[in-house]
Amino acid sequence: MAQFEKVSQKSKVHPKPEGLTLQYGTAGFRTHATHLDHIMFRMGLLATLRSKKTKSTIGVMVTASHNPEEDNGVKLIDPMGEMVTVVWEGYATQLANAEQDSLLKELKDIIKKEDIDMSEPASVYIGKDTRPSSVSLSQAVLDGVSSLGGKTHDYGLVTTPQLHYMVCCCNTNGCYGSPTIEGYYQKLSQAFLQLTQNALNRTDDQKRLLVDGANGIGALKMREMEPFLRSELQVVLSNDGSSGKLNHMCGADYVKVQQKAPQGMNMGVGERCCSFDGDADRIVYYYTDSKGCFHLLDGDKIATLISTYLKELLTQAELNLQIAVVQTAYANGSSTRYLEDVMKVTVCCTKTGVKHLHHAAQEYDIGVYFEANGHGTVLFSKAAQKQIQELMKDPNTNDERKRAVKLLESTINLINQTVGDAISDMLVIEAVLAIRGMSAQDWDAIYTDLPNRQLKVTVSDRRVIDTTDAERRAVSPKGLQDTIDMLVKKYKSARSFVRPSGTEDVVRVYAEADTQESADSLAHEVSLAVYRLAGGIGDEPKPLH
Ligand code: NG1
Ligand code: ZN
């Protein structure tokens, strides 16, 4: 078939290094950029098949998010803007690892298994982040799509959530919005301006927000969006990519893991600051107090702020909708306790990786999901959205209820429901703080985080660690969980767990306890246990102090 002839020819331009195997992990393929050319070409092929199968537009995003600039990666986006299904993740790995001479065989195998009608048209949207390697790598994706006769739309430089949004807009025939960058800015800014009308007497200081763009795509897009916000938000942008290196000593991951401010940010006492990650799908907030102490407002604090606000609006609107917060094992224990005991909202815990949180959140009328690292969004079920719209139109709705319903409606429009979105989340947070007249300090005071520490341990094969109970307990290697249990008992209000990372070749260790010293010490002791019981390599983990 001529179709496969072209694939065969073109694949020679994007050859697979012999013996190299990679896995479609938590966030797609991710590794050093020099190993990815063949993967990109093949993901172009797979996206084309997925498009033919679903009779919809599929997205392919070239990015390695918060990872170093030298890395890159690729993720596939399904028709409604969600992550690709697990079965197709398997096909991605199968196709990626096929040696050069068996590529066509594997491709045909997927076509057969999925019973794909190859005469169907295909459409693939492509986006990339600002990494230098993204230019040629996204070209390899385009080559893959065109060699199977698919149509492409190259959005060029976009944030990951912007591409998710475009895919969803396209496949809902514009119901979700218009699939252009301008359409995205217009939809979000209109909703933001509507919401901030409800915040009275805001001073310029209150409208001011310091944004760390991680020297990445989020900074570029924030610049583009600023005029749409008509000074209702006065952004002071740092790490805008003009001089620094992507994610280096800056960005959401650096701030969250190091628990300190990024370089290059001039923070005044109490000033609201936030950091995006390298592809702008994560955000964390922070400020320093008058004593120079750094305070982090992470994904857990964001989930708490947003769910409290939504719950209040539901009460005011007299709407009986179930709201739940979805977290992972990394959620700070204090946040879970506050949400369950004080807020009385349902809290559910899933495995790490937004696809797990996203699916769990779909089970509720309103599902607020956030990873502690600041990746998250809010999902409103179709039924919930319908109820809100109907109440809006109902002539019997009194003014107070109407105000609450209107706020809910604008909030829905402001949220990017396809995936976590730093820009959209930032605007939601800014609007909520403005409407409720809260400062960063007021927000921080909702509950106090338990001191915590995250560490990494390198082992020869991280797959020896198997976990259960939403990754909170290790079932292998033998003796590891018993040791962790024993260590945890030594500290007050303590908790610890370990899991193999899905994006790096390391085992992650998390610990929390009543003091920072205890959290650090517990994290260290658990790291040692991992090193000794799970085949640690390199130097033994050293104490933090
Ligand atoms: P891994 O490397 O599997 O821990 C990290 C984050 C996830 C998720 C993915 C994708 C932590 C502890 N882990 O996964 O939450 O965001 O990257 O970017 O933050
Ligand atoms: Zn990211």
* pLDDT tens per residue across span 350-382: 999 999 999 999 999 999 999 999 999 999 999
In this prediction, residues 53-64 reach a mean pLDDT of 98
Each residue's pLDDT tens digit, 64-104: 999 999 999 999 999 999 999 999 999 999 999 999 999 99
CATH 3.40.120.10 domain range(s) in the chain: 2-157
Is the pLDDT reported for residue 3 higher than 80? no
Q: Is 543 annotated as a binding residue?
A: no
Distance 233 CA to ligand 1 centre (A): 30
pTM: 0.96
The number of the ligand nearest the C-alpha atom of 355 reads 1
Q: Take atom 18 of ligand 1 and give the residue whose Cα is closest.
A: 27
* Ligand 1 within 6 A of CB of 330: yes
Distance 350 CA to ligand 1 centre (A): 13
In this prediction, residues 178-188 reach a mean pLDDT of 98
Is the pLDDT reported for residue 281 higher than 70? yes
The number of the ligand nearest the C-alpha atom of 501 reads 1
Taking Cα atoms as reference points, which of 52, 64, 293, 25 lies closest to residue 149?
52
pLDDT the model gives residue 432 = 98
Asked if 135 and 128 count as a contact pair (C-beta separation under 8 A), the reply is yes
Each residue's pLDDT tens digit, 385-424: 999 999 988 888 899 999 999 999 999 999 999 999 999 9
- 456 bridge partner residues: 508
Please report which confidence band the pLDDT of residue 1 belongs to, taking 50, 70 and 90 as the band edges. Answer: low
Count of beta carbons in the 10 Å neighbourhood of residue 102: 11
Count of beta carbons in the 10 Å neighbourhood of residue 363: 14
Strand, coil or helix: 286: strand
Is residue 309 classed exposed, middle or buried when 0-12, 13-18 and 19+ CB atoms within 10 A define those classes?
A: buried
What residues act catalytically?
A: 65
In terms of phi and psi (left: phi > 0; alpha: psi -120 to 50; beta: otherwise), the region of 216 is beta
Which CATH code for domain 2-157? Answer: 3.40.120.10
Q: Is 90 annotated as a binding residue?
A: no
Distance 422 CA to ligand 2 centre (A): 9
Each residue's pLDDT tens digit, 115-131: 999 999 999 999 999 99
Token representation of residue 466? 């198997």
pLDDT the model gives residue 463 = 94
* Ligand 1 within 6 A of CB of 502: yes
CATH 3.30.310.50 domain range(s) in the chain: 452-534
Which CATH code for domain 183-297? Answer: 3.40.120
**Best CATH choice for the domain 452-534 from the list 3.40.1360.10, 3.90.1310.10, 3.30.420.60, 3.30.310.50:** 3.30.310.50
Is the pLDDT reported for residue 2 higher than 90? no
Each residue's pLDDT tens digit, 212-233: 999 999 999 999 999 999 889 9
* Ligand 1 within 6 A of CB of 501: yes
Q: Take atom 8 of ligand 1 and give the residue whose Cα is closest.
A: 353
- Please report the atom of ligand 1 found closest to the CA of residue 371: 15
Is the pLDDT reported for residue 41 higher than 70? yes
Each residue's pLDDT tens digit, 436-481: 999 999 999 999 999 999 999 999 999 999 999 999 999 999 999 9
pLDDT the model gives residue 499 = 98
CATH class held by domain 300-417: alpha beta
- Please report the atom of ligand 1 found closest to the CA of residue 256: 19
User: Mean pLDDT in the chain?
Assistant: 96
CA–CA dist 384, 389 (Å, integer) = 9
Map 423-473 to HEC letters.
HHHHHHHHHHHHHHCCCHHHHHCCCCCCCEEEEEECECCHHHCEEECCCCE
The number of the ligand nearest the C-alpha atom of 508 reads 1
Q: Is 266 annotated as a binding residue?
A: no
Q: Is 277 annotated as a binding residue?
A: yes
Asked if 524 and 516 count as a contact pair (C-beta separation under 8 A), the reply is no
Question: For tokens 């702020």, what's the residue?
Answer: 305
pLDDT the model gives residue 26 = 82
**Phi and psi (nearest 5°) for 179?**
-80, 55
Distance 263 CA to ligand 2 centre (A): 19
Angle, CA 310 vertex, CA 305 and CA 313 arms, to 5° = 130
Is the pLDDT reported for residue 482 higher than 70? yes
Please report which confidence band the pLDDT of residue 30 belongs to, taking 50, 70 and 90 as the band edges. Answer: very high
